[in-house]
């Protein structure tokens, strides 16, 4: 009678281990985010400065240019500087203000990492877009001449 109990105990322990490993593998699947990449042959749409929010990602600071073209004289005054950690609250506030003035889902966010930015900051910005359910945003790595002048002027 004793060998049967030993076999049953071993079978029970083996089933527990198998179920534990299956559960741990199921829970440890990496999360992924889908990004839509435009076709390289497609023409880029021309954006209106009154409907765009440009987010310049720095190392520890983030700069926001809210609905102002970087080539204008008022751009250096309109540029908001904030710690990278508070980007979510700032975008949420600006989005609410924009919905009141230009309409719902009219604001387009353009994320531009500066040379001092890290990969982590870019991924965090993309996570914020997903968390806030922002549908219209773009990740752009090139700066225009007006933006380069603005960065030089502000010392970013």
Q: Radius of gyration (Cα) for the chain, nearest Å?
A: 24
What average pLDDT does the segment 7-12 reach?
87
* Contact by Cβ (8 Å): 151, 114: yes
| 9 or 148: which leads in pLDDT | 9
Q: What is the pLDDT of residue 17?
A: 93
d(CA 152, CA 68): 17
pLDDT at 13 over 80: yes
d(CA 88, CA 127): 10
pLDDT tens for residues 111-145?
Answer: 888 888 888 888 888 888 888 888 888 888 888 88
- Other C-beta atoms closer than 10 Å to the C-beta of 82 total 13
pLDDT tens for residues 28-50?
Answer: 777 776 766 767 777 776 777 77
Question: 49-154: what fold?
Answer: Nucleotidyltransferase; domain 5 (3.30.420)
pLDDT at 1 over 60: no
CA triplet 37, 93, 71: central angle to 5 degrees?
A: 65
CA triplet 58, 63, 65: central angle to 5 degrees?
A: 145
- Other C-beta atoms closer than 10 Å to the C-beta of 156 total 17
pTM summary value:
0.69
pLDDT tens for residues 83-117?
Answer: 877 788 888 888 888 777 777 777 888 888 888 88
Question: What ranges do the domains of the chain cover?
Answer: 49-154
Q: What is the pLDDT of residue 55?
A: 85
């Amino acid at each position: 009678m004793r060998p049967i109990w030993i076999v049953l105990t071993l079978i029970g322990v083996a089933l527990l281990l198998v179920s534990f490993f299956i559960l741990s593998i199921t829970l440890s699947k990496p999360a992924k985010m889908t990004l839509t990449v435009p076709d390289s042959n497609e023409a880029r749409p021309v954006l209106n400065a009154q409907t765009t929010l440009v987010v310049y990602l720095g190392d520890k600071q983030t700069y926001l240019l809210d609905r102002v073209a970087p080539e204008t004289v008022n751009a250096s005054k309109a540029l908001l500087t904030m710690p990278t950690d508070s980007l979510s609250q700032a975008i949420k506030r600006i989005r609410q203000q924009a919905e009141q003035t230009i309409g719902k889902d009219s604001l387009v966010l353009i994320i531009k990492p500066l040379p001092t930015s890290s990969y982590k900051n870019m991924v965090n910005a993309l996570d914020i877009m997903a968390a806030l359910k922002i549908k219209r945003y773009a990740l752009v790595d090139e700066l225009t001449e007006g933006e380069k002048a603005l960065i030089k002027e502000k010392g970013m």
